[in-house]
Amino acid sequence: MPVRARDPWSLGGLLQVTSYDTIQGIGSYYLWMSMSRRKHDWEKLSDEQLLKQRLSSLRVKVEGTWLEGCLSALNEELQARGIRLRPHAWISSEWFSPANVPGIAMPFYLAHPRLMKLEKKMMLEVEGSTWSECMAILRHETGHAVQHAYQLQRRRRWQQLFGPSSKHYPLYYRPNPASRRYVQHLRRWYAQSHPDEDFAETFAVWLRPRSNWRTRYAGWPALKKLEYVDELMAEIAGERPLVTTRERVDPVSRLSQTLGEHYQKKQAFYAFTPPKTYDRDLTRLFSADQRHRRAQPAAAFIRRHRAQVRQLVARWTGENQLTLDAVLDDMIARCRELDLRAPGSERKLVVNFTILLTAKTMHALFGPSRRKWIAL
């Protein structure tokens, strides 16, 4: 089972990578760490002050950070597969690979630990903050870059397997978690959102060293896509890319919005108004009986364990932590209004409450005729 790096800004964190993400040259990591500690005027600002800064004023770069190591490992994987493309990378507001540009934009917050801390506070999670997560996303984005570089979407077989690349890109998609027509790489069944994402996810599974995809997807319709990618990459191995532009779309140096404006928009995109249908479940788990009036309030119990439970349920279900946090807020409010108490074993209550939140989330995602639309 993969071991997640705890802190990519410490040498110990960098060395705790998955079995398939190897690190070479410990000395270079000391160099990266020393370089990544480049001083910035905004480092010691309060969160309130930092949110007033413009993205362009951050002056963060890929160069001299741990992200260079990730890109170096990615290039080694591409070289091992005979792929000549080496995607260029730059810092922007989010992860993306622009259309017809064989490169990768990386989010600003990964370039400095202070920005990671702010991202964690504002979004409750930091996407790509460990070595293994960053490599997983880089492989996905490289799938886009390879598609752009070699114009793969023009091939008839590509279109037959993945669909038309020209299909409208949705703001939200509605996945079928039980489908075996798609690989499962990034969270939230991302391959189902668009033909381009389907290819990028399939490519990422194929590229990952020792992924054992033939065994993992044996009997799945998705195996045909993986076999096609394997054949296609063998065909273009050693070939020069058709598109070689080094354009950088929306680099952070040109982004005029403040961090506060950036997070306001990002939070609104993932906003969710939970239905108030938890009373029956909450009263089963907790108690309104006067005999338990001396027990701790259920609202306080949920507040104390919300971060742990939210992270676990997000990991198991693929749901966004901001969405889960909105549900938890509503549950806390209902517990307070119903004056519920949390008697009995704390450990057992944590387990049961985690199961309750997981069940509610899975019902929203899997329930017949009410499968959830997920923000792309």
The secondary structure of 104-161, three-state, reads EEEEHHHHCHHHHHHHHHHHCCCCCCCHHHHHHHHHHHHHHHHHHHHCHHHCHHHHHH
What pLDDT score was predicted for residue 374?
Answer: 61
Task: Count CB neighbours of 294 within 10 A.
Answer: 8
Maximum distance among all alpha carbons in the chain?
A: 76
What pLDDT score was predicted for residue 12?
Answer: 35
Indicate left, alpha or beta for 168 from its phi (over 0: left) and psi (-120 to 50: alpha): beta
Enter the pTM of the model: 0.77
The pLDDT tens digits for 315-349 are: 888 777 887 887 888 889 889 889 999 999 999 99
What pLDDT score was predicted for residue 274?
Answer: 55
What pLDDT score was predicted for residue 29?
Answer: 40
Flag residues of the chain having pLDDT under 70: 1-38, 271-277, 364-376
What pLDDT score was predicted for residue 174?
Answer: 81
Residue 148 CB burial class (10 angstroms; 0-12, 13-18, ≥19): buried
